[in-house]
Every structure is written in structure tokens, then in C-alpha cells.
Structure 1
Amino acid sequence: MTTTKTLPSAKHFTLQQLADGVYAAYVKEHMGAFSNGGFVDLGESVLVIDAFLTPQAAQELRDIAEAITGHPVRHMVNTHWHGDHVRGNQVYADVAIIATDTTKNLIAEHLPPRIEAIRAQAPAQLKALQEQFDNATDEAQKAAFAVELAQFHEIDSTFHTLQITVPNVTFENKMTLHGTRRSAELITLGGGHSPSDIFVYLPQDKIIFMGDLLFVNNQLACWNANEREWVQILEQIEAFDAVQFVPGHGPLGTLEDVRANKQYLLDLLQLVEAHIADGGTEAGLADLKVPAAYEAWEFGSIFPGNVQKLYAQLKNS
């Protein structure tokens, strides 16, 4: 039986208790976290899942995790290398930051030049966004630009102190963290959403923190993906004894959401493969529509990028 605790209000995310000692942190849009995370009380120490987009969001989660559990954070896992899951790593420089070797290398290779490029572009982007806000006449548009400005300032405020912090503990296939209260299994089955993805399985609680292997009610981000491998990974996860699935983006999911993600990828593959088989061109991708089953999912704006990337990948394979 779960003992429900009164949870603190947070600036960057909304907490949900999934079981005794298990908490998901769902991103508050435009507040600097940008992806979901969570934490697990292992008994005498805490495991944190992912480090968000900004150090201030990561620090808030660490502070809350230690306050709720009464135990120190000793481990933090990066589920994959993308910035919205690792740019807060510096907050955990004094603990074990866990990842796969591939993820560690990708962070070290890609994050520094990306951050420098963002820093260089920031003044022009801020000026353009401020002009859009100042010139907006529609109240809804003005409100939307105000939210974007707030998020921009939240992220921009980190650049002077941001330190790219790479994982200091790596594993190949599986690592189990044993605690006096529960064990947590850190597992990689390869690369689906990214070249290397970890999910965190809590067998005692039947909970999986999926990272970006799962999107709930959101279009899947496929810019760095291998769609066929992603399908195979989800098929294997279906066999796990789990009932709650914490996605990288979106609300708490179920096994049906895992299956819906798998079907999305299969439908995307079929759509683009059929386009190529019919002699379709890259320009013709603009005519491809989001399948009806996914029209209501958020972030529909990334669908054109998904088909363009997959088209190029299939044409070059």
C-alpha cells in the first residue's frame, strides 16, 4: 500500500508519487526543464533519472528528492545524450553519473560545440523574439511570445555558469543498483530514439522510467533515431512486468502507450517506404500527412522533420 505524501510545489516540474519512494517529475512547459525526470529512494540513498535542460531545474529536483526521502542522492543516470536530459549534469558532479559508453562519448563530442553555437546565436535570437513580442497585436500571440521569452531567459541565464559534465560511471548492457528498500535495473537494449538509450526498471514496483524511448500523447522525436531498432526495443519492453511507464515527454503512460509508440514508428516507416516505392521525391514529402491516429498528439510540427529524416536515411541505406 502506497503512503501518499504531500508533495512540494516546484517551479520547473510537477511531481507525482508512483509508489512509496518513487516519484516522477513532469516538465512544466517553458520553465527550463524541457523533459521529464524522476527519483527513486533505494533505501539509504537516492537515484535520480535525468538532469533536465538547465542546472537550476536539476538542482531543484535534487533538493526536493533529498528533502522528501531524507537520503542523499548517490546516483544519477543519463538515459541518453540529448541536451534536455544532460545539461544539468553539473549539479551531480559529486555523485556517480551513470550512462553507457556511447552516451558518455556523444555528450563529450557534441555538447560543447552545440553550447558554443547557442551562446553565439543567443543575442540575435533574443532580439528577434523581443521584436515579435513588441509587434504582436493579437493578445493570444502576445501571450505566447511572453512565454517563449520567459523560457529563453531561463535558459540564457545558465550560459555563464554552464559546465558540460560527462558521466563518470559507464556500463554496457545492464547495471543493477541494490538498496535496502528496492533495487533499480538500468538497462540498454541498444539505440532507438538515440544511438544508445537506457531505461530504468523497478521490478518490485512494476514501474519503468523510459527516457525518450516513450512519448505519451506527443509526436515522437526521430531526428536522431533508428526507427526499426526502436520498434524492436519497444517489443522487448512489452514483455517486462510493468504497469506504469514514465515517458521522456508527456504524462504517465501505460503498456498501451508503449504499443501506440511502436505503431507510430511502424506507420511512419510504411508511409515513407511507400512514398519512395511510388517514386516520390524529397519535395513530395510535404504532401504526406500525419496519420489520423496521431493527429491529436502534441508537437505535430515535428512530423515533417520525421519524414524528411527517414526519407534521407532510407534513400542512403
Structure 2
Amino acid sequence: MRALLIALAALAPGLVAASEDIPDQYPQSVLYSKPVEVIPHVFSAIGATAPPTYENAGHNNNLSFILTGDGVVVVNSGASWALAEALHAEIQAVTDQPVKLVINENGQGHAMLGNGYWAAQGVPILAHKAAAANFADGAPQDLASLKTYARERSDGTTITPPSETFEESRIIEMGDLRIEVLNLGPSHSPGDTQVWIPQWSLLIAGDIAFHERMLPIFDDTCTRCWIETWDEKLVPLAPAYVIPGHGHPTNLAQVQRYTRDYLIDLREKIAAHLEEGGDLAGAFHVDQSRWKGLDTFEELATKNAGRVFAEMEFED
């Protein structure tokens, strides 16, 4: 652990260790944490590794931005108007370059509910077609949830869809930079999007990759597909730097350990449980103690086991 912390400190000076026990790391802002420069020209405001609360204002994912020399590209609009506005203020504190594009990494509320702020600034917003559809389905519930936990911090937030969509990839040429907006394949949720900057070997991975908090498995998540996408599409990129959807910037080996290896371990446990004739009730109790040090373990471990059981029960 000491070696990991030293490595993270070298990667992005100023980072504070992530913990779901820390309610707010940046009390002078609605943001959970102040953006840090991960590598030259790429910043990320690291969200809480806890579920959304009033204290973290729903900033429990990573809000990143890229300075291209000819404009700024933002990855994730944030969970509310207030979070998007606060991120914009942080951008303006480090550059005079205008924000020219916002990319939504998926269709969840904390990736898209801030779209209204950016649309009001005249900034185009890009998302995968499936993520846009997922947001359209879930946004009313996401907004209602935001208003419940964030209260006045949700003021001004509206349901605003992305203004542009893509299906396989979108290449952004801005300044001297080539930014590849990718959908590597099925993983965490419909339309999961990755932002790849090959000349810097940087992957803003989104929710295909986790390491400090337990990943969530949803009813429509295909864990077998997630592993295949990882092995066949993500690993060949061989990024030197990874900004995951949640948690601090790290490297490929670290997110592989807590994403791919976790999925394989859980599927192996459920497969053995099924082989022994086990039922759904028993699946909730398969041994996941190897992963108990991850934040949100208590909230997600048993749910994940039940969903993998439902996926694998009739899997070919």
C-alpha cells in the first residue's frame, strides 16, 4: 500500500487518499475535491468513493478536462447545474481557453445531469447513442433522487440530453491533439465511453475501470462481455495513465486487479455455487472477503452476487 501511495503521489501531486469516510475534501466549493493536474494539460476533480450525499453534492465520480491549446474538452458534465458551474470556475482559474466540447461518459445522472449548464453556455455535448437513450429512460428518477439528497444544491438542474451522439467512435482534432472518443464494447452500462489520447498514452476510462471502490453490476450488465471487452479492446491500448470513472488516477495493472480480476473471481464463485445446486439466496453469501477493503463493499457486494447469479443461471 505504501508503494501505491508513493506512485499515486508522483503521478498527481496533491491528491488526498480516497475514502468514503471523508464527506468533503473541498469545503469552499460544491465540488468534492479541487481538480488536480494528472499529467500536463489534463486535470481531474476526483469524486467521493461513497454513494451520493448532501455533503458530496452528488460529486462521486470524476470530472475531467483537457487543455488542447485551442480549447478545453470536458469529460462528464456532473450531477447538477451547480457542479458543472463549479467545474467551469476551476477551468477558468487555470486557462483562458474556452470550453468547446463536453463528453458524457455514460447515461447516469452524475455524468449527464449537469448538461443543462453547459448547454446554456452554448457548448456542444457528445454521448454514445445508447448512453443518450439510457439517460432519457432514467433521467426523471435521477433528477428526483438528486433533489432528495442534494436539496438546494440541485437548484437549476434540468434534464438536458446530449446535443450530439456517436455509435462506434468519434475523432476530435483540437489544437495539436487527437482525442479518440470510443465505445470499446459492452461493460458497466449501455454506451460506456472511453476517451483515449494516444500521444500521451492516457485513457480517461470511465466506468469500465474501477479500483478504489467496488464496481456496481446492474440488471443489464453482461459481466462475461465486460471481461471480453477488457481483454480484447482495452488491454491492447496499453495506457500508461488511467483516470477511472471513480477513484484516483492510476495505471492499467491496478484497475485490472480490481475490475477484471474481481469480475472473474465473482463469476468463478457463482459458477461453483451453481455447480453445487445452490440457489439465489445462497448466492448472496458467496465469499467476497478478498474485496472487503474496497469502498462501497457493504452496499454492493451482495447485490453484485445476486445479479451475477441471475446472469449465469441460464448462461450457455
TM-score by length of 1: 0.82
Distance 1:56 1:160 in 2: 7
Contact 2:182–2:194, Cα closer than 8 Å, also in 1: yes
Residue matched to 1:232: 228
Q: Deviations over 1:12-50 (max 9, x none)?
A: 123221222111210146422111120001221110001
Show the 5 A alignment for 1:24-35: 24-28=44-48, 30-32=55-57, 33-35=59-61
Contact 1:177–1:184, Cα closer than 8 Å, also in 2: yes
Per the TM alignment, residue 233 of structure 1 is displaced from its structure 2 partner at its CA by 2.0
Per the TM alignment, residue 117 of structure 1 is displaced from its structure 2 partner at its CA by 6.7
- Structure 2 counterpart SS, 1:215: coil
Q: Deviations over 1:87-132 (max 9, x none)?
A: 111111121110111111111122124434775xx4xxxxxxxxxx
Distance 1:249 1:159 in 2: 21
Residue matched to 1:91: 117
Larger displacement relative to structure 2 (281-290 or 157-166): 157-166
Larger displacement relative to structure 2 (233-242 or 264-273): 233-242
2:71 pairs with 31, 39, 45, which one? 45
Q: Which letter maps to 1:298? A: D
- Structure 2 counterpart SS, 1:176: strand
Distance 1:52 1:275 in 2: 39
Unaligned ranges ≥5, structure 2 = 1-11, 16-25
Contact 1:21–1:69, Cα closer than 8 Å, also in 2: no
Contact 2:61–2:110, Cα closer than 8 Å, also in 1: yes
- Structure 2 counterpart SS, 1:219: coil
1:252 pairs with 249, 255, 261, which one? 249
Residue matched to 2:94: 68
Per the TM alignment, residue 291 of structure 1 is displaced from its structure 2 partner at its CA by 4.3
Q: Which letter maps to 1:23? A: F
Q: Percent identity?
A: 23
- Structure 1 counterpart SS, 2:200: coil
Distance 2:91 2:244 in 1: 19
1:268 counterpart = 2:271? no
Show the 5 A alignment for 1:86-165: 86-93=112-119, 94-116=122-144, 122=148, 152=149, 155-165=150-160
Larger displacement relative to structure 2 (165-174 or 106-115): 106-115
Q: Over aligned residues, Cα RMSD in angstroms?
A: 2.3
1:176 pairs with 171, 179, 189, which one? 171
Aligned length: 280
Q: Which letter maps to 1:213? A: I
Q: CA distance change for structure 1 residues 118 and 208 in 2, over 3 Å: closer, same or farther? A: closer
Q: CA distance change for structure 1 residues 114 and 278 in 2, over 3 Å: closer, same or farther? A: same
Unaligned ranges ≥5, structure 1 = 123-151
